[in-house]
């Protein structure tokens, strides 16, 4: 059968929806933890500023959750609408984590509703803070479960195909597949890191716009510390991801690194441009580094693309995405390190405008790295939707209307994207911190 146009547009629509959803999803996973930390610090130090921080972050969070929920509903349905053959198989084998994810959503949604409307209802602030724990757990677990599904697409296992019939289905084996540990850990830690840097960007922006309130400085210091911790964690876990790839998906790793010949003591290629005939120009070669990334041993052998037939090798442009992600990871980790150390040592430059501008870029950069990371791993899995089992081209719908649906959803995401930005900026501009602090003291607190 086959319908090339439908495959093409289904891909485009999936890419669009996921790329848009992941922005809000990442914020949705990370921010509850940040709110929790702020409220906890506030209660422990008896510092009104941190409590207000938690309150204001929550208010913004509600808006991003709303867009996350509706775009997530879209992708959830689109998976069946655009990839019916894939979902039929996935439903048989990997439905368990998908199903458990809905419970995580349920849990999060219920407690978020309660948390939002009970700020001043408890005498003991700590009780209110406890309500946030299920929200944070629900958000993180929805990421864990959905990432398990994505890991399964990279290392499908837990079933046998006999004459086209699925037999011996083992849901738990499918769920705990080899790609799962590194993927889940990397997704979580990058989500926490990105959320911290986004909040840091907001704080830096307020300071740049002339507010000199200590509230923003406290916010900035707290988020930069969290960002630093999770960016180090992300780099370490990223290194484990490389080792996982070398063992289970060597063609993917070789494509990331433009590693064409199998060799021992392989160098890591950074940056560069790919010319015809696998010629790499303007690159930075770090001797032995690829062997270290892949096996933790400078002399180990790393399998190259020469071992694979042309039709299972992913597009080679993903190397640029890999460089982008890793470079951003290094840069933002450095910025936060300098900020945190500079603040401890009471250096003046941390509050200088030029440095605040640099701090401001960390949030958008981290989000860019998230996008790069997903594109990298998804395109790196091509031509497979289920590696070694089902090709993307065979999974798609045969409907003739995918192109008009692409237009429809493009319009939707434009409206949602612009709408959420307008609402968020208005919300905080109309109600500056100084005003709110004054109001709250006016109430006799």
Partner 1 sequence: MTYEVIGISVLWLFLFGYVIVASIDFGAGFFNAYSLLINKHHIISGIIQRYLSPVWEVTNVFLVFFFVGVVGFFPRTAFYYGTSLLVPASIAIVLLAIRGSYYAFTTYGELRHKGWTYLYGFSGLFIPASLSIVLTISEGGFITEDEAGLALDYWALFTSPLTWSIVVLSLTSVLYISAAFLTWYANKAKDHQATELLRKYALVWAFPAIITATGIIVELRTHNPVHFNRLVDLWFLFGISFVLFLGSVYLIWKRKNYGIAFTLLTGQFLVAFFAYGISHYPYLLYPYLTIYDSFTSEEMAVALIVAFIAGLGLLLPSLFLLLKLFLFNKDYVQGNR
Indicate which of partner 1, ligand HDD, ligand HEM, none lies near residue 437 (CB less than 5 to 8 Å, by partner kind): none
From the list 329, 354, 328, the residue with the least C-alpha distance to 342 is: 354
| Residues in CB range of 211: below 8 A, 6 or more apart | 432, 433, 434
CA 218 to chain centre: 26
Judged by beta carbon distances under 5 to 8 A according to partner kind, the member of ligand HDD, partner 1, ligand HEM, none in contact with residue 328 is ligand HEM
* Paired residues of 167 in beta bridges: 160
Q: Does an H or E element contain 278, and which?
A: none
Q: Do 306 and 254 touch, CB atoms closer than 8 A?
A: no
Is 68 one of the binding residues for ligand HDD (CB under 6 A)? yes
Q: Which does 9 bind (CB under 5 to 8 A by kind): ligand HDD, partner 1, ligand HEM, none?
A: none
CA angle 208, 213, 216 (to 5 degrees): 65
Q: Say whether residue 12 binds partner 1 (CB under 8 A).
A: no
Closer of 147 and 420 to ligand HDD (Cβ): 147
| Cβ distance to ligand HDD smaller for residue 139 or 220 | 139
- Residue 70 CB: number of other CB atoms within 10 A? 13
Q: What are phi and psi of 23, to 5 degrees?
A: -60, -50
Window 131-150: residues binding partner 1 (CB under 8 A) = 134
Q: How far is the CB of 183 from ligand HDD (least distance, A)?
A: 10
Is residue 7 part of the contact set for ligand HDD (CB under 6 A)?
Answer: no
CB-wise, 190 or 420, nearer to ligand HEM?
A: 190
Q: Is 69 in the site for ligand HDD (CB under 6 A)?
A: yes
Which string of b and e fits 375-395 if b means at least 16 CB within 10 Å? bbbbbbbbebbbbeebbbbeb
**Are 388 and 381 spatial neighbours (Cβ–Cβ below 8 Å)?**
no
Is the N-terminal amide bond of 383 cis, ω within 30° of 0?
A: yes
Separation between Cα atoms, residue 233 and residue 395, nearest integer Å: 36
What is the chain's length? 445
Q: Which does 139 bind (CB under 5 to 8 A by kind): ligand HEM, ligand HDD, partner 1, none?
A: ligand HDD
Q: Does 180 bind ligand HDD (CB under 6 A)?
A: no
Question: Is 123 near partner 1 (CB under 8 A)?
Answer: no
Residue in 23, 34, 112, 193 binding partner 1, rule: CB under 8 A = 112
Binding segment (CB under 6 A) for ligand HDD, from list 16-24, 193-201, 293-301, 417-425: 16-24
Tell which residue, 19, 108, 106, has the closest CA to residue 71.
19
Residues of the shown chain interacting with ligand HEM in the complex, contacts defined by CB under 6 A: 11, 14-15, 18-19, 21-22, 79, 83, 86, 146-147, 149-150, 153-154, 179, 183, 186-187, 190, 193-194, 234-235, 238-239, 241-242, 245, 252, 325-326, 328-330, 366, 369-370, 373-382, 385, 392
Count of residues in contact with partner 1, rule CB under 8 A: 77
The answer to the question of residue 420 lying near partner 1 (CB under 8 A) is yes
Among the listed ranges 67-75, 281-289, 320-328, 377-385, the one in contact with ligand HDD (CB under 6 A) is 67-75
The residue (of 266 and 395) whose beta carbon lies closer to partner 1 is 395
- Binding of residue 193 to ligand HDD (CB under 6 A): no
Residue 372 makes contact with ligand HDD by CB under 6 A: no
DSSP 292-343: HHHHS-TT-EE--GGGS-GGGPPPTTHHHHHHHHHHHHHHHHHHHHHHHHHH
Report the b/e string of 13-22 with b at 16+ CB within 10 A.
Answer: bbeebbebbb
Helix (H, G, I), strand (E, B) or coil at 63: helix
CB of 154 to ligand HEM, least distance (A): 6
**Whole-angstrom distance, CA of residue 304 vs CA of residue 311:** 15
Picked from ligand HEM, partner 1, ligand HDD, none, the partner binding residue 245 (CB below 5 to 8 A depending on kind) is: ligand HEM
What residues contact 5, with CB distance under 8 A and at least 6 apart? Answer: 400, 402, 403
Query: CB of residue 27 vs ligand HDD: minimum separation in angstroms?
Result: 7
Binding range to ligand HDD, per CB under 6 A, among 64-72, 167-175, 236-244, 422-430: 64-72
Regarding 388 and contact with partner 1 (CB under 8 A), the answer is no
Contacting residue, 422, 438, 439, 441, with partner 1 by CB under 8 A: 422
Distance CA 249, CA 314 (A): 11
Site string for ligand HDD, 75-104 (x = CB under 6 A): xx--x-------------------------
Give the residues lining the site for ligand HDD (CB under 6 A).
Answer: 18, 21, 24-26, 28-29, 65, 68-69, 72-73, 75-76, 79, 105, 108-109, 139, 142-143, 146-147, 187, 191
């Amino acid at each position: 059968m086959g319908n090339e146009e439908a495959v093409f547009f289904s891909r485009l629509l999936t890419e669009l929806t996921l790329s848009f959803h992941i922005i809000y999803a990442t914020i949705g996973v990370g921010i509850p933890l940040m709110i929790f930390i702020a409220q906890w610090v506030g209660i422990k130090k008896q510092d009104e500023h941190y409590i207000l921080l938690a309150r204001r972050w929550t208010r913004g969070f509600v808006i991003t959750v709303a867009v996350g929920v509706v775009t997530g509903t879209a992708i959830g349905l689109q998976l069946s609408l655009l990839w019916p053959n894939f979902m039929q198989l996935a439903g048989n084998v990997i439905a368990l984590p998908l199903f458990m994810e809905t419970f995580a959503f349920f849990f999060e949604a219920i407690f978020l509703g309660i948390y939002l409307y009970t700020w001043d209802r408890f005498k003991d602030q700590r009780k209110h803070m406890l309500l946030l724990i299920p929200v944070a757990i629900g958000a993180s677990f929805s990421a864990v479960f959905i990432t398990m599904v994505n890991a399964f697409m990279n290392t499908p296992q837990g079933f046998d195909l006999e004459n086209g019939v699925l037999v011996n289905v083992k849901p738990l084996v499918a769920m705990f597949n080899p790609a799962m540990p590194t993927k889940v850990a990397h997704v979580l830690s990058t989500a926490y890191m990105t959320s911290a840097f986004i909040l840091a960007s907001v704080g830096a922006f307020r300071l740049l716009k002339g507010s000199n309130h200590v509230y923003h400085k406290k916010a900035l210091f707290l988020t930069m510390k969290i960002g630093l911790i999770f960016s180090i964690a992300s780099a370490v876990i990223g290194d484990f991801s490389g080792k996982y790839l070398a063992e289970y998906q060597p063609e993917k790793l070789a494509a990331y690194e433009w590693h064409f010949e199998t060799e021992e003591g392989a160098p890591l290629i950074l940056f560069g441009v790919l010319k015809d005939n696998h010629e790499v120009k303007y690159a930075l070669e770090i001797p032995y580094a690829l062997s270290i990334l892949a096996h933790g041993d400078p002399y180990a052998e790393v399998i190259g693309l020469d071992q694979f037939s042309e039709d299972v090798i992913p597009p080679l442009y993903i190397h640029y995405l890999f460089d982008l992600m890793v470079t951003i990871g290094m840069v933002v980790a450095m910025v936060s390190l300098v900020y945190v150390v500079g603040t401890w040592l009471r250096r003046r430059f941390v509050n200088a405008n030029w440095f605040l501008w640099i701090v401001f870029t960390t949030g958008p950069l981290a989000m860019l790295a998230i996008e790069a990371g997903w594109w990298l791993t998804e395109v790196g899995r091509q031509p497979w939707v289920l590696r070694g089992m089902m090709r993307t081209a065979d999974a798609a719908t045969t409907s003739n209307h995918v192109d008009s649906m692409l237009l429809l959803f493009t319009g939707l995401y434009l409206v949602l994207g612009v709408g959420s930005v307008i609402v968020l900026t208005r919300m905080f501009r109309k109600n500056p911190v100084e005003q709110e602090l004054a109001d709250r003291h006016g109430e006799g607190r």
